[in-house]
């Protein structure tokens, strides 16, 4: 079966038991790029599969493929349309080939905290954005949160001037490129699975990510320290294809979507705690976590915020205004 073939590709430490599906069950493959455990998205996928496989046994069966074992985030979108996977959850920064509206989520220093993010995603504008790719055949099932991102490099970063001239890995996001260029640094787009090696070999000097990505992919081991810049959101869009959703028996579809929504809400309520736990593990490892004084933080804001204006037309000022209003 597909599960056996895929499981054979895993090394012992990476093995995740891909559920063996019974004949007649709808097979739901969920491919993602992060660690299977101790991570907001990895834990979400595991919890989702557990519930689907228990409560929908005989009707549906979910197999999870973590750590880029099946697809990178750029390939997974094509795979969804081809029916090779049914669920993906790339970062909202990675949808530029399909819609420019999600650039709003990448604007630096936009959301004051995860409550503001939640206000926006659950409000009318956030809900409308779930359908931003319907013309291509993608459906947003919901937002799955990771958290707020921080910078790290192979030297101490306290002000944006410290980052000038360095090369930073970014996701496939032009907002991120503009942000790094505003710091007079250089951006290099790389797939997530390439980041550790690129940091280790000096292909790039630094990166920006959440505590959970920095810890579970060991980026902290090959960096001088992490600076708590809290400059940008990392959230995922759980996405599927309209064609697949429409192909489901209505009762199966309703049950799946209900489970999906419940598991998403539970995962989102846990995401900040998971990031905090990962931050503590980084601190315990002895790697320096640097906090900024209000004056230092203001320097990052002053350098990065002008980036917003470049993307206002793509996003729509009304969407930006709704996101800003979610901070209140
Ligand atoms: C990244 O590429 O840094 C992240 O989008 C990876 C992830 O899925 O958290």
Q: Cα(62)–Cα(214) distance, rounded to whole angstroms?
A: 28
Q: Does ligand 1 have an atom closer than 6 angstroms to the CB of 211?
A: no
Q: How far is CA 17 from the centre of its chain?
A: 23
| Residue range 264-277: mean pLDDT, rounded | 98
**227 ligand 1 Cβ < 6 A:** no
Joined tokens for residue 43: 């834990």
pTM higher than the cut 0.90: yes
What residues contact 93, with CB distance under 8 A and at least 6 apart? 102, 105, 106, 171, 172, 173, 175, 176, 234
Distance 192 CA to ligand 1 centre (A): 6
pLDDT of residue 1: 33
Asked whether the ipTM of the predicted complex exceeds the cut of 0.95, the reply is: yes
- Residue 122 binned pLDDT confidence (cut-offs 50, 70, 90): very high
The CA 251 to ligand 1 mean position distance, Å, reads: 33
pLDDT at 321 over 50: yes
Return the pLDDT at 13: 39
In 154-185, beta strands by DSSP E? 167-170
What tokens appear for 286 in the block? 């002895």
Q: Is the pLDDT of residue 16 over 80?
A: no
Q: Is 220 helix (H, G, I), strand (E, B) or coil?
A: helix
Over residues 268-295, the mean pLDDT reads 98
For ligand 1, say whether the CB of 33 is within 6 Å of any of its atoms. yes
Check if the beta carbon of residue 30 is closer than 8 Å to that of residue 45.
yes
Write down the mean pLDDT value for the chain. Answer: 94
Ligand 1 nearest atom to the CA of residue 90, by list position:
8
Question: Residue 146: CB within 6 Å of ligand 1?
Answer: yes
Q: At residue 140, does pLDDT exceed 50?
A: yes
> Is the per-residue pLDDT at 194 higher than 50?
yes
Are the C-beta atoms of 140 and 224 separated by less than 8 Å?
no
d(CA 180, CA 160): 10
Assigned token pair, 160:
């944006």
Residue 102 CB: number of other CB atoms within 10 A? Answer: 25
Nearest CA to ligand 1 atom 6: 192
Residues 6+ apart with CB under 8 A from 250: none
Q: What is the distance in A from the centroid of ligand 1 to the CA of 236? A: 9
Assigned token pair, 127: 């809900």
Residue among 107, 117, 110, 150 at smallest CA distance from 291: 150
Distance between CA atoms of 283 and 269, rounded to whole angstroms? 23
């Amino acid at each position: 079966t597909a599960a056996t073939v895929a499981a054979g590709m895993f090394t012992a430490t990476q093995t995740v038991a891909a559920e063996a599906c019974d004949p007649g069950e709808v097979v739901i493959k969920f491919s993602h790029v992060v660690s299977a455990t101790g991570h907001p998205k990895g834990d979400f996928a595991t919890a989702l599969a557990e519930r689907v496989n228990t409560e929908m046994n005989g009707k549906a069966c979910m197999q999870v493929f973590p750590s880029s074992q099946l697809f990178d985030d750029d390939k997974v979108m094509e795979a969804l349309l081809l029916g090779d996977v049914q669920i993906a959850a790339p970062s909202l920064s990675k949808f530029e080939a399909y819609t420019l509206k999600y650039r709003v989520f990448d604007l630096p220093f936009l959301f004051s905290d995860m409550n503001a993010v939640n206000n926006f995603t659950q409000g009318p504008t956030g809900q409308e954005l779930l359908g931003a790719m319907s013309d291509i055949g993608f459906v947003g099932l919901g937002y799955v949160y990771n958290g707020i991102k921080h910078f790290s490099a192979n030297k101490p970063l306290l002000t944006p001037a410290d980052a000038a001239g360095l090369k930073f890995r970014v996701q496939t996001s032009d907002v991120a490129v503009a942000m790094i260029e505003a710091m007079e640094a250089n951006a290099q787009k790389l797939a997530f699975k390439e980041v550790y090696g690129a940091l280790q070999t000096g292909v790039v000097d630094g990166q920006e990510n959440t505590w959970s990505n920095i810890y579970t992919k060991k980026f902290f081991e090959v960096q001088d320290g992490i600076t708590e810049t809290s400059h940008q959101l990392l959230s995922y869009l759980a996405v599927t294809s309209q064609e697949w959703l429409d192909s489901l028996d209505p009762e199966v579809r309703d049950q799946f979507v209900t489970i999906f929504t419940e598991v998403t809400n539970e995962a989102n309520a846990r995401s900040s705690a998971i990031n905090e736990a990962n931050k503590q593990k980084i601190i315990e490892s002895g790697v320096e976590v640097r906090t900024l004084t209000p004056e230092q933080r203001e320097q990052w804001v002053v350098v990065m915020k002008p980036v917003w204006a470049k993307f206002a037309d793509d996003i729509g000022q009304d969407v930006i205004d709704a996101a800003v209003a979610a901070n209140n």
